[in-house]
Amino acid sequence: MPQKTITLFFCILFFYSFGTKQQKDSDIAHFNTASQKLIGDGYDLVSYFFENKPVKGKSFITSQYQGLLFYFSSQENKDLFISDPTTL
């Protein structure tokens, strides 16, 4: 479990190391955002690390962070992300 946490930390750090200011539309071009600034094509990023597989997020369990939209497969995963999106 600690290795997963460390991996997740570095993944999130990579995504947000480009600055802590509020992102502008032109600043988010490097993210995987096919539509509506949706991250990861709608997959729950937390599930990659805690469920060992990609899980499609639900459009009714969402969160926005720095102008980007995240989908989650469960409220628990959303709460984990919200608790500290930069270090989880």
Is 88 a member of any domain? no
The CB density around residue 30, as the number of other CB atoms within 10 Å, is 8
Domain count, the chain: 1
Is 26 a member of any domain? yes
- Mean pLDDT of all residues belonging to the chain: 76
Contacts with 48 (C-beta within 8 Å, 6 or more apart), sequence order: 8, 54
d(CA 15, CA 88): 13
pLDDT in tens, 51-63: 888 899 999 999 9
Q: Which domain holds residue 57?
A: 2-83
Is 68 a member of any domain? yes
Structure confidence at residue 55 (pLDDT): 93
Is 43 a member of any domain? yes
pTM: 0.61
Count of residues making up the chain: 88
